[in-house]
Structure 1
Amino acid sequence: MLLTRAERRRGIAWGLTSLACIALFVGIAVIALLSWDAAGTQSRLFTAYTWRILCFTLWQAVLSTLLSVGLALPVALALARRPDFPGRIWIVRLMALPMGVPVLIGALGLIGIWGRQGLINGLLLTLGLDQPVSIYGLSGILLAHVFFNLPLATRLLLAGLERQPAEYWLLSASLGMKPLSVFRFVEWPAVRNIIPAISALVFMLCATSFTLVLVLGGGPAATTLEVAIYQSLRFDFDPPRAVALALLQIGITGIILFAMALLPAPDDHGATSGRASRRFDGRTLSARLWDLFAVLAATAFVIMPLASILAAGLKANLWSLVTSTAFLAAAWTSFSIAISAGLLTVMTSLAVIAGREAVADMKKPGITARSFAAMLAGMSSLVLLVPPIVLGTGWFLVLRPLGDVAHFAAVLVAIINMLMALPFVMRVLEPAVETHRRRTARLSASLGLSGLSRLWHIDLPVLAKPLLTALSFAMALSLGDLGAVALFGSNDLVTLPWLVYSRLSSYRTNDADGLALMLCLICLLLTILGTTGRKGADNG
């Protein structure tokens, strides 16, 4: 037992408070959905429109998953086989960049490369082809999902390959295995067990995609459940249909999460280390050329939209945009929401960790304590079960009788963004806090330090960097989010992503490109600041 009785009580109290607050916020939204005009909702639940939206949501998610994971496998194999590839560590780090870029900005970058006036169609026109590539509709959605998820799948697959013992590669070389045999007996077993979990994760991300489909969907024929919910409330004002679609969305995400719980979680530990076991295979010219093609093609696919954002943004009058009233107001709103959401996320994560630590410190925790710890562990997954657009729909229905929902919008967006960032922040903070507690608990007890004195003298000097990392990640996610604000956005609540989207919708693409560049740089700067000094992130 490393905690005092008072510390255990405080930990349980903090954990219980955070659990109650999140359960209440999510529960009220879900209850509002379930209780809203049950007859009207049921009649909208089994219509041809709803069925078509559901089928398209699942179909595009299946295709996106197959493309993302299928294309990521040869890239991961090539990177694993070439530990001495020039610039390999930077290529692996590049694979993390799309995850730090706001989804809306990534979509604009893809339009710059694959759009009607984009680089690819321009090259095809010079070859005499009549713009065969369309960025809108199903093809654009698939292209965008692959852009964001291929790097993620590559990193996770690479981590699995690099965990193989070095003796396996030495043995395969001593046995003179051909490339097909190496893949069959060494590489495939390394990735076979993690591919289902990676595929489930990518499928979940694609099935709950909102911003990409909103920007690139191209009309009613390419609409997912989340976009249809948004359209039902913002444009058609049809609450029964929105509720029916929201309940379908909860059902789909619940099934996916249940399936994911049965699979081993993919681990990206070591994926950014830039180191790999010594390989003796793939020495032939054809193997070298294939690996070179796979790595360069994936690198170009990822880097071209990012370069397009930079090139298009620099063409805009950045000074005029930065000093404009619209930008300054949107930036103030975005930062206010982001700071609030970031601080809420960090405090909630620390409360959850304290509650779980208190239970773990008990000699013989009973079934109530174990259930409490399990609920705390699963609390961060609530936002996956009830996505932001569904939460927003529920609260829209709750607050509508009280007057203009826009009056409550900023608070709701901050809380929803907090829930969205919670899984990521927990992953950053929990290992750091647990390791620190194990190292310092006995010393603190022997010195009689607890409460604020322990926090100031023992905890903060060590946990300052993880806390900064968690805060910066949460703020970056909030700054780049369009999903929550799309439902509540108005003249009184304009964030930077909403400003970019509004400029794009009004065909002011030059302004949209400049604003997109600034938003992208802000989010990337926050991400870089959060990882400053974290040697483990790069050195394993």
Structure 2
Amino acid sequence: MAERSGAIRPSTTPAPALLALALVLGALGLGFLPVLWLGIGGGVSAFDPYLGRVLRFTLLQAGLSTLMSISLGLLLARALARQQFPGRTILVRLLNLPLALPAIVVIIGIIDVYGNRGWLGGLFDIYGLQGILLAHVFFNVPLAARLLLSELERVPEESWKLAAQLQFRARDIWRIVEWPQLRAAIPGAALLIFLLCASSFAIVLTLGGGPRATTLEVAIYQALRADFDPPRAAALALVQLALCASLVAIAQRFGGLMQGWPSLQRPPQRFDGYSTGARISDGAVIAAGLGLLMPPLLTLAISGAMNIAPTPDLGRAIFTSLLLGTASAALAFVFVWPLAAAAARLPRWRTVSRLAVLSAWIIPPAVLATGWFISLSRVAGLSGLAPFLVIGMNGLMAMPFAYQILAPALFEAAGRHDRLCASLGIVGWSRLRHIDIPALRRSIGLALVMSLILSLGDLTAIALFGSQDLVTLPALIYRQMGSYRFDAAIGTALLLSVMVFALSVLAERWSARA
């Protein structure tokens, strides 16, 4: 019996997890340590009015974007929670679309609507703080609405029935039913949105309009690519790292930042949305939400369809994007799988694995790229390493999302199969081939597709490490905009959005089946 119980005990030395942890920490250390060393050495010259101005603008635009996104997202979530109407499921699914679209695609749509030659051109200057806020609100209002709507749909149906029996008014429902449910979710959602806006790169780079609208991420990019001033870039990267690490640490106290793929569960039946006033007010909020989301998407579809022109550059960019994106997704999976498997089977690995994965958010892409640039700047063949650097950065950035998908599935599989596999002596590659992969193929597919989506739309890594010979679709769009070929840019943006949307539909179907 002692031998049998000993056989069931899981391995205490998960070599694959140790190797994955060492590689992840090595890659992060290669990015962080040079920044720390050079940033401290150049810190005195970096703490000047320019740094203060950049930091103030970073916090200002992130704070305003977060306030607007949470406020509007809360109104939209409450309206969708109270009303049932034909097409509601489609509208809720539409809230997921901006999360999957690359930033550069949305920027193209916003410029085509609100720019000088757009449908609503002349309302305000699209370049500067106004344009940055508009783009962030476009992305983050649906995110906030989706997160808060999920919380409202977790309220038991019995609570709504009791509220109807007691004839609660709208303010009573908010105070007694809705606010207690949302109170714990709003801080985490706000911190997530603030972190996304504070580390925004493509939006600020494209819509900033000049040095007055520069964030830390863009300042790091300018210090490396325009000024070639690694000490200043390192000092700025340290400030960015401290800001993001503080936000992630605060967010963990409110339940964390990591969210699963949104579900489309059946909402509970509510009884407070039947009055004429509620229908009018909720209808106005939903119409305003559609007014925010639809114009950029419609102009992208209409204008883009008329301007798709096959060219050799476009073909190469598609091939490069798919090649680098697939490699990045595979790398994220190779890192995440052993860490998630160790966390599922060994309790002491759960914190280690989670921290290793979250470190990809704690150390922003610009900081990581700065460190790698400094470490490898003396390598003669640095341009030849560019594809591998892009793959490495995108793979690390996709790790938190892949982990969030794979970890729960592996936890469930461990509880279901571990004891039987141990008693039968099924271990290692044999277990992986015959047990784990067949049982988890849908979760594996979902994690790979989501990682591919994130990599396809990334501009940060390719902007820092790309060259004339290494161009992805987001980089091609940015170049077309820079050379004033806006029609070609919107056609390329539509092509990229169709690719991403098709993968998103595939991911959603995989998620529902998994």
The one-letter amino acid paired with 2:11 is R
- Residues in 1 aligned to 2:179 and 2:345: alpha-carbon distance in whole angstroms: 42
> 1:31 — aligned with what?
33
Alpha-carbon shift at residue 37 of structure 1 (Å): 7.0
- Residues in 2 aligned to 1:453 and 1:409: alpha-carbon distance in whole angstroms: 36
2:204 and 2:218 in contact (8 A); partners too: yes
State the TM-score, normalizing by the size of structure 2.
0.95
Alignment counterpart, residue 397 of structure 1, candidates 365, 374, 377: 374
2:341 and 2:407 in contact (8 A); partners too: no
- Structure 1 segments (4+ residues) deviating >6 Å: 266-270
The one-letter amino acid paired with 2:271 is F
> 1:520 — aligned with what?
497
SS in 2 for 1:493: coil
Alpha-carbon shift at residue 4 of structure 1 (Å): 4.7
> 2:443 — aligned with what?
466
- Residues in 1 aligned to 2:38 and 2:493: alpha-carbon distance in whole angstroms: 38
SS in 2 for 1:278: coil
Deviations 1:106-149 (A, max 9, x none): 1111112222222223xxxxxxxxx2322210011111111111
1:194 and 1:266 in contact (8 A); partners too: no
> 1:365 — aligned with what?
none
Alignment counterpart, residue 315 of structure 1, candidates 306, 321, 337: 306
For the structure 1 residues 256 and 29, does the alpha-carbon distance in structure 2 shift closer, same or farther, using more than 3 Å as the test?
same
Asked if 1:355 is matched to 2:342, the reply is yes
Superposition pairs of residues 237-386 of structure 1, within 5 angstroms: 237-265=228-256, 272-316=263-307, 318=308, 320-321=309-310, 324-360=311-347, 370=348, 372-386=349-363
> 1:127 — aligned with what?
none
- Residues in 1 aligned to 2:110 and 2:138: alpha-carbon distance in whole angstroms: 8
- Residues in 1 aligned to 2:8 and 2:417: alpha-carbon distance in whole angstroms: 17
Alpha-carbon shift at residue 94 of structure 1 (Å): 0.6
For the structure 1 residues 228 and 407, does the alpha-carbon distance in structure 2 shift closer, same or farther, using more than 3 Å as the test?
same
- Name which of structure 1's ranges 60-69 and 492-501 shifts more when overlaid on structure 2: 492-501
> 2:43 — aligned with what?
42
> 1:481 — aligned with what?
458
For the structure 1 residues 336 and 536, does the alpha-carbon distance in structure 2 shift closer, same or farther, using more than 3 Å as the test?
closer
- Residues in 2 aligned to 1:37 and 1:243: alpha-carbon distance in whole angstroms: 4
SS in 2 for 1:379: helix
> 1:199 — aligned with what?
190
Alignment counterpart, residue 389 of structure 2, candidates 412, 420, 426: 412
> 1:133 — aligned with what?
124
1:405 and 1:488 in contact (8 A); partners too: no
For the structure 1 residues 3 and 236, does the alpha-carbon distance in structure 2 shift closer, same or farther, using more than 3 Å as the test?
farther
1:137 and 1:222 in contact (8 A); partners too: yes
- Residues in 2 aligned to 1:160 and 1:2: alpha-carbon distance in whole angstroms: 43
Alpha-carbon shift at residue 158 of structure 1 (Å): 0.8
> 2:472 — aligned with what?
495
For the structure 1 residues 452 and 49, does the alpha-carbon distance in structure 2 shift closer, same or farther, using more than 3 Å as the test?
same
**Structure 1 vs Structure 2 CA RMSD:** 2.0
The one-letter amino acid paired with 1:69 is I
For the structure 1 residues 5 and 481, does the alpha-carbon distance in structure 2 shift closer, same or farther, using more than 3 Å as the test?
same
Asked if 1:534 is matched to 2:511, the reply is yes
Alpha-carbon shift at residue 7 of structure 1 (Å): 6.0
Deviations 1:176-229 (A, max 9, x none): 222122222222222122111111111011111101111111111111000011
2:39 and 2:235 in contact (8 A); partners too: no
The one-letter amino acid paired with 2:249 is F
Alpha-carbon shift at residue 6 of structure 1 (Å): 9.4
- Residues in 2 aligned to 1:301 and 1:293: alpha-carbon distance in whole angstroms: 12
For the structure 1 residues 279 and 307, does the alpha-carbon distance in structure 2 shift closer, same or farther, using more than 3 Å as the test?
same
- Residues in 1 aligned to 2:297 and 2:23: alpha-carbon distance in whole angstroms: 39
Deviations 1:275-297 (A, max 9, x none): 22221113221211110111121
- Residues in 1 aligned to 2:88 and 2:78: alpha-carbon distance in whole angstroms: 13
For the structure 1 residues 44 and 4, does the alpha-carbon distance in structure 2 shift closer, same or farther, using more than 3 Å as the test?
farther
Alpha-carbon shift at residue 391 of structure 1 (Å): 0.7
- Residues in 2 aligned to 1:242 and 1:268: alpha-carbon distance in whole angstroms: 31
- Residues in 1 aligned to 2:32 and 2:255: alpha-carbon distance in whole angstroms: 29
Alpha-carbon shift at residue 520 of structure 1 (Å): 1.2
- Residues in 2 aligned to 1:2 and 1:212: alpha-carbon distance in whole angstroms: 57
Alpha-carbon shift at residue 425 of structure 1 (Å): 0.5
Alpha-carbon shift at residue 267 of structure 1 (Å): 8.0
> 1:95 — aligned with what?
95
- Residues in 2 aligned to 1:269 and 1:469: alpha-carbon distance in whole angstroms: 11
> 2:406 — aligned with what?
429
The one-letter amino acid paired with 1:515 is T
For the structure 1 residues 533 and 415, does the alpha-carbon distance in structure 2 shift closer, same or farther, using more than 3 Å as the test?
closer
Alpha-carbon shift at residue 398 of structure 1 (Å): 0.8
2:258 and 2:401 in contact (8 A); partners too: no
The one-letter amino acid paired with 2:373 is F
Alpha-carbon shift at residue 299 of structure 1 (Å): 2.2
> 1:118 — aligned with what?
118
2:234 and 2:370 in contact (8 A); partners too: yes
1:99 and 1:148 in contact (8 A); partners too: yes
> 1:442 — aligned with what?
419
SS in 1 for 2:377: helix
For the structure 1 residues 173 and 6, does the alpha-carbon distance in structure 2 shift closer, same or farther, using more than 3 Å as the test?
closer
- Residues in 2 aligned to 1:276 and 1:325: alpha-carbon distance in whole angstroms: 48
Alpha-carbon shift at residue 357 of structure 1 (Å): 3.1
2:39 and 2:238 in contact (8 A); partners too: no
Aligned residues: 511
> 2:11 — aligned with what?
8
- Residues in 2 aligned to 1:159 and 1:267: alpha-carbon distance in whole angstroms: 14
1:141 and 1:213 in contact (8 A); partners too: yes
- Residues in 1 aligned to 2:22 and 2:419: alpha-carbon distance in whole angstroms: 31
Deviations 1:508-531 (A, max 9, x none): 011111111111111222222233
The one-letter amino acid paired with 2:109 is G
The one-letter amino acid paired with 1:351 is P
> 2:364 — aligned with what?
387
- Residues in 2 aligned to 1:534 and 1:505: alpha-carbon distance in whole angstroms: 38
> 1:85 — aligned with what?
85
Deviations 1:299-318 (A, max 9, x none): 231122122211111111x3
For the structure 1 residues 219 and 427, does the alpha-carbon distance in structure 2 shift closer, same or farther, using more than 3 Å as the test?
same
> 2:218 — aligned with what?
227
Asked if 1:20 is matched to 2:18, the reply is no
Alpha-carbon shift at residue 175 of structure 1 (Å): 1.8
Alpha-carbon shift at residue 445 of structure 1 (Å): 3.7
2:329 and 2:452 in contact (8 A); partners too: yes
SS in 2 for 1:95: helix
1:161 and 1:187 in contact (8 A); partners too: yes
2:303 and 2:490 in contact (8 A); partners too: yes
- Name which of structure 1's ranges 194-203 and 160-169 shifts more when overlaid on structure 2: 160-169
Identity of aligned pairs, percent? 40
